[in-house]
A = this chain, B = another copy of it.
Amino acid sequence: MMAASPFDAAIYRELLQDDEVAALFSDIAELRALIRVEVALAKVQGELGLIPLDSASAIERDITESKIDPASLAAATGRDGVPVPALIAALRATMESPEHAQYLHWGATSQDIMDTGLMLRLREMCDLVDQRLKLLLQALADNADTHAELPMAGRTRAQIATPTSFGAVIAAWGTPLLIHLEALAQLEPRLLRVSLAGASGNATALGDKAGAVRSALAAELELGDSPICWHSDRAALSEFASLLTRVSGSLAKMAEDIILATRSEVAELGLMRSGGSSTMPQKNNPVVAETLVSLFRLNTAMDGLMTQALLHHQQRDGVAWALEWHALPQICMATAKSLALALDLAGELQPEAAAMETHISSGNGLIYAEAISFKLAETMSRPAAQAVVKELCVQALEQGCSLSQLVAQSYPEIDWTAIATPATQLGDAALQARTFAARVRQLGDQCRS
């Protein structure tokens, strides 16, 4: 089987494919959506008297369940650049009654059918993203609660910085997902609209009933109406692609942090669903997390294409439109799979408290340098305290002893109890973890419209 994309390769099916999205972006699904739009169009045109009611019924009866072989459309699609003319011809040919068949696709243009058919599928995609985001948030919220006070070394610029908690780290992973959920709800009404604007966008062939037919079609398909033609306005599609890319970006950030935490030298997280090597028996590779990061990088490239597609020439642009065909399904697949993989990861997070403790204590206790400098600043100026501590850090490293020991020797008059211990150095880490969890729970109590 040919596979320009590994998403479509049998070998990589379990690694990369998402079954639900695969069902939305198959040849069959594409044709089914186009047919559904044509049937709905005929139905509302029959009801509004644009075409005979009998013809509308015949169209619904004859083509709703049509099984057109996608490959049979390939030659004409190769010539026309779009599959709709060939599909219309094939559907008409399958109808028993040419007198009714002629009313199929009445007054519409190819792009109307393809864009509206796409919307039917993107509606399912929106639901899927919404649901998976919520499931993932729930799993992260549980973890944030559980580990709200588990001490862990914070890392900034690849260096151990000051203590924090694993729960706060999880809250930082999950909070952007709450934002994405909000943005998705705001975007949907902009995105999920009907298109019925005819050849050059002014619905001429639908006469003075153009608006009524379009509104009725929107209602029939449960999509938004669109009084102004959006054939050449692809902003909502680009916005959707960017949102999905940001979703996968937030997941990739979580995944990258997990990769760093599962490195052999760190080992603060247990390896989940890990992969084997063809030659090294001991290897446990972070395959799931790696896949999340690479799917995000893929999305950034595809999102760029969707952005380029905004530059849609005049009333219809064969170049810009085709970019969406390449980019959008890959973004949907990558994002949905990323959400599924992230949910797997979230369900298997195994923090190693001992390793976390080790990294806090290691490094000669320099992790407490900031805290010590603030304590010291109670008796001298803050810049002086920082300079003193900086010097003591150097000594600690050279002498191989702990910073807190050195500082206690130098400033025995100060009570150093309760400084060099995570217990007092977590700040509002636990509060952040619980705030995040509470927000997610609030969300769980709401219904999706």
Residues of the B chain whose Cβ atoms lie less than 8 Å from the Cβ of A259: 158
Copies in the complex: 4
Residues of chain B within 8 A (CB-CB) of A168 are 201-202, 229
Contacting pair B298 A179 (CB below 8 A)? no
Q: Is residue A224 contacting chain B, with contact meaning CB distance below 8 A? A: no
The stretch of A57-65, A131-139, A304-312, A409-417 in contact with B is A304-312
- Residue A105 at the B interface, CB < 8 A? yes
Q: Which residues of B contact A263 (CB under 8 A)?
A: 155, 158-159, 265
Produce 1/0 per residue, A1-34, CB < 8 A to B: 1111111111111110100011001111011000
In the complex, chain B residues whose CB is within 8 Å of the CB of A11: 27, 30-31, 70-71, 73-74, 77, 83
3 nearest A-B residue pairs (beta carbon): A154-B200, A14-B78, A249-B310
Kindly identify which residue among B7, B154, B290 contacts A199, using a CB–CB cutoff of 8 Å: B154
Whether A117 is near chain B, meaning CB under 8 Å from some CB there, is: no
Pick the contact of A159: B284, B323, B384 (CB < 8 A): B284
Docked CA distance A246–B158 (Å) = 25
| CB-contact partner of A285 in B159, B202, B257, under 8 A | B159
Q: Identify the closest chain B residue to A114 (Cβ).
A: B278
Segment from A41-49, A118-126, A205-213 that makes contact with B: A205-213
A446: Cβ under 8 A from any B Cβ: no
Contact indicator A156/B301 (Cβ below 8 Å): no
CA distance A291 to B26 in the complex (A): 21
Which residue of chain B is the closest to A236 with respect to CB atoms? B179
